């Protein structure tokens, strides 16, 4: 092959291009557009009525046959019965398609447990998509009773404790020894459970629905051949992380433990702080597919019972397929989900939850989420932190005022700068406006573009700082901010005053302790900036009025959001300022707790008692 042929072939390949003959790549086919309405009822009411009539007739015939069989032989009656049975058979033939449709339309989860082991196995295979699904383990064994019984252990690998299954179920059942009693006798199964199974929670169930909900939680079910009952034994044992230090709500003087992903660990953490029989934990399930366990915790003698009823009503009224996070549940059950302001407190600290419960609030813990939802709350609760109460009241109040000022600066500072530099230049001292003017002299953009671009850069840095893994994140955030600010000023893209304003605003935003509130405040700030750039201080004041109206109209689980200020309620020295711990005698009035008094007027009784030491006694 000479050089000409080579070139000719190459040229031919380019000119006469043919796609490679590989199999076509996978492309997800677009689903047929179906109306998002529930499937129409296939069986009509008339068909069900026919089935019902048939059932009544069958019951009648069985009764008649029983009476006829008990009585001495009467040929005419038997013949009549024969005819009737033949007629019934005919009717059954006619109705069998309807019967089939009915049984098919029933979910296997609602199905009763069959006496046939094979039947049960088939149902389980259908329910758990076996053998494709490898999570479900069905362990067959024979119980050495009299007569021996085939049994099957059903559990899910990974969320159940293998040691418990081996030692507390398999070992006792298989090494029963010679049991001369029959399991099929009356109360035979109960005896087996009582005598041989050392599990701490054991119960008998009759439907597959009960079995699936138990084994989805990590329990083990035992099915017996010939019995229409199953035994459920508590063998929960999924891997989980222990309580760790709080990451978002760190404190210097507060407790150093945070919630984990395991619900029972979390409820236990709360109970260690409130060791009272009054603390009630109600369990509910949310999510039709995820079946997520939720715990509603409250102090029964303090909380207003209507709050519990309402919270449970909302939780039970949620129909969604999966709830995987506490934050998701919070949005699903809050009063105004459309507004960005958080209407419940999301906390990872058990001590905060305990304090809230003691005030007459309730907490909702979600399995798999290390955050508790505390409701109802007021706007001011979101500006509190756990260690406020560990500090002297003056210091605690100072910190709260600082946070409130930080919130105001965060909302208003860039907006005020824009409004004043655009419309109200007379409102600044002459030297300051001249300095601002001089700083902006070389910048080619309007002040609004400057602020908007810096805001955008800051938001990018913030988002990036969260996404960049580990220690690198904060470093890149800080370094990025400094370099970006410096470079932007040096390149005359923004003026130093804008960098100062955005930096102060950013700093102030970190003073807001609640993450969701911080987000909401940032969104509000952008709206205020727009209003200020378009309408000046009138726009800003209009925005402030709108926000106040909005906040005052909001509710958190039915409790006014701006209480105790609007509406004015009895002040318990724990909203904007914090009174001394001993002076906080009342629980929040807006929660209408059953017991409003937290402590007596003189809570420090030791101050009124003699010290037991005589005057002048130096020993």
Partner 1 sequence: MLFAFKIAIPVILLFICTGCYGAKETDSVAYVIAHGVDKAPGGKLTITTQIAPPAGPGKSEQENIGVIDTITIPSSGQNRTLISSTLSRTLNSTHLTAIIISEEAARAGIAPILAFFSRNREFRDSIYFIVVPGSAADYIQKNTSRLNLTISRLYENYLTKKNYSLPSTLHTFYTSFKNNGSSPYITYSAVNPRTGEDKSAGYKTPQQKSTPYIAGGIPRAGTKTAIEFLGLAVFKDDKMVGVLNSEETRAVSLLRGEFSWGYLGVVDPLAPQKDFISLKVYTYNKPKITAYFNNKAPVFTVKLKLELEVLGITSGTSYEKPEYRRLLETQVADLLKEQILSMLKHTQALGTDPVGFGLYLRPQLDTTAELSKADLTELYQQADIQIDVTAKMRRTGLIWQTTPKRNG
Residues within window 196-255 making contact with partner 1, judged by CB under 8 A: none
DSSP class of residue 389 equals G
CA distance 48 to 100: 12
| Residue 496 touching partner 1 (CB under 8 A) | no
Least distance to partner 1, CB of residue 423, Å = 4
Nearer of residues 534 and 602 to partner 1, judged by Cβ: 534
| 24 Cα distance to chain centroid | 42
Nearer of residues 399 and 452 to partner 1, judged by Cβ: 452
Nearer of residues 44 and 541 to partner 1, judged by Cβ: 541
| Residue 321 touching partner 1 (CB under 8 A) | no
| Residue 304 touching partner 1 (CB under 8 A) | no
Among the listed ranges 84-92, 118-126, 434-442, 593-601, the one in contact with partner 1 (CB under 8 A) is 434-442
Q: What is the size of the binding site for partner 1 (CB under 8 A)?
A: 29
Residue 198, CA distances (Å) to 13, 192, 470, 474 in order: 77, 10, 46, 52
CA distance 281 to 288: 22
Nearer of residues 423 and 515 to partner 1, judged by Cβ: 423
Least distance to partner 1, CB of residue 453, Å = 15
Per-residue binding letters, 411-430, with partner 1 (x by CB under 8 A): --------x-xxxxxx---x
Least distance to partner 1, CB of residue 425, Å = 6
DSSP class of residue 240 equals -
- CB atoms near residue 492 (< 10 Å): 13
Task: Tell me phi and psi for residue 599, to 5 degrees.
Answer: -155, 160
Radius of gyration of the chain (CA): 36
- CB atoms near residue 68 (< 10 Å): 15
Which of 234, 244, 238, 284 has its CA nearest to residue 266? 244
Residue 498: Cβ-neighbour burial (10 angstroms; 0-12, 13-18, 19+): buried
Nearer of residues 25 and 444 to partner 1, judged by Cβ: 444
| Residue 120 touching partner 1 (CB under 8 A) | no
Residues within window 136-175 making contact with partner 1, judged by CB under 8 A: none
Which of 398, 392, 402 has its CA nearest to residue 253? 392
CA distance 119 to 204: 19
Per-residue binding letters, 523-542, with partner 1 (x by CB under 8 A): ----------xxxxxxx--x
| Residue 490 touching partner 1 (CB under 8 A) | no
Q: Give 256's strand partners.
A: none
Least distance to partner 1, CB of residue 103, Å = 46
| Residue 431 touching partner 1 (CB under 8 A) | yes
Nearer of residues 526 and 573 to partner 1, judged by Cβ: 526
Which of 363, 365, 385 has its CA nearest to residue 375? 363
Nearer of residues 30 and 426 to partner 1, judged by Cβ: 426
Which parts of this chain interact with partner 1 (CB under 8 A)? 419, 421-426, 430-431, 433-441, 443, 446-447, 533-539, 542
């Amino acid at each position: 092959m000479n050089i000409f042929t080579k070139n000719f072939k190459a040229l031919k390949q380019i000119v006469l291009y043919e796609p490679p003959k590989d199999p076509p790549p996978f492309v997800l086919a677009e689903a047929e557009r179906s109306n998002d309405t529930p499937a129409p009822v296939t069986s009509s009411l008339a068909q069900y009525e026919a089935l019902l009539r048939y059932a009544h007739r069958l019951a009648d015939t069985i009764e008649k046959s029983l009476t006829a069989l008990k009585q001495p032989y009467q040929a005419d009656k038997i013949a009549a019965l024969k005819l009737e049975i033949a007629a019934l058979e005919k009717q059954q033939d006619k109705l069998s398609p309807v019967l089939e449709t009915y049984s098919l339309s029933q979910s296997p989860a609602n199905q009763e447990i069959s006496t046939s082991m094979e039947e049960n196995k088939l149902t389980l295979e259908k329910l758990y998509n076996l053998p494709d699904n490898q999570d479900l383990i069905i362990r067959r064994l024979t119980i050495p009773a009299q007569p021996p019984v085939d049994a099957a252990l059903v559990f899910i690998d990974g969320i159940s404790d293998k040691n418990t299954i081996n030692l507390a179920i398999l070992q006792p059942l298989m090494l029963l020894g010679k049991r001369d009693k029959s399991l099929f006798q009356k109360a035979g199964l109960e005896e087996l459970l009582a005598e041989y199974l050392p599990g701490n929670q054991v119960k008998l169930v009759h439907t597959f629905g009960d079995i699936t909900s138990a084994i989805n939680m990590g329990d083990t079910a035992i099915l017996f051949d010939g019995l229409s009952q199953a035994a459920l034994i508590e063998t929960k044992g999924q891997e989980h992380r222990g309580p760790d230090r709080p990451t978002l709500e760190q404190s210097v003087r507060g407790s150093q433990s945070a919630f984990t992903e395991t619900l029972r660990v979390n409820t236990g953490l709360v109970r260690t702080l409130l060791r009272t029989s009054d603390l009630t934990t109600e369990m509910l399930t949310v999510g039709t597919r995820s079946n997520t366990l939720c715990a509603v915790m409250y102090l029964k003698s303090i909380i207003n019972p209507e709050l519990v009823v309402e919270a449970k009503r909302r939780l039970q009224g949620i129909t969604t397929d999966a709830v995987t996070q506490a934050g998701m549940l919070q949005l699903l059950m809050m009063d105004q989900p459309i507004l960005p302001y958080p209407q419940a407190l999301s906390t990872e600290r058990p001590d905060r939850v305990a304090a809230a419960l003691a005030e007459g609030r309730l907490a909702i813990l979600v399995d798999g989420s290390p955050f508790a939802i505390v409701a109802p709350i007021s706007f001011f609760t979101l500006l509190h932190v756990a260690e406020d109460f560990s500090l002297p009241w003056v210091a605690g109040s100072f910190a709260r005022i600082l946070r409130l000022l930080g919130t105001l600066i965060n909302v208003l500072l860039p907006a005020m700068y824009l409004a004043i530099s655009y419309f109200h230049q007379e409102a600044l001292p002459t030297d300051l406006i001249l300095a601002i003017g001089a700083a902006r002299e070389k910048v080619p953009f309007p002040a609004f573009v400057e602020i908007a671009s810096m805001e955008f850069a800051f938001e990018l840095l913030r988002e990036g700082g969260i996404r960049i893994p580990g220690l690198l994140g904060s470093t890149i955030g800080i370094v990025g901010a400094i370099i970006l600010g410096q470079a932007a000023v040096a390149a005359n893209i923004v003026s130093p005053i804008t960098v100062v304003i955005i930096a102060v605003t950013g700093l102030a935003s970190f003073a807001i302790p609640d993450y969701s509130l911080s987000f909401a405040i940032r969104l509000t700030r952008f709206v205020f900036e727009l209003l200020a750039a378009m309408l000046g201080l009138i726009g800003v004041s209009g925005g402030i009025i709108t926000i106040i109206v909005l906040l005052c109209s909001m509710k958190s689980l039915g409790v006014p959001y701006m209480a105790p200020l609007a509406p004015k309620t009895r002040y318990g020295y724990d909203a904007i300022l914090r009174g001394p711990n001993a002076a906080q005698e009342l629980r929040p009035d807006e929660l209408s707790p059953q017991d409003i008094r937290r402590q007596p007027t003189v809570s420090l009784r030791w101050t009124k008692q003699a010290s037991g030491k005589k005057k002048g006694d130096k020993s």
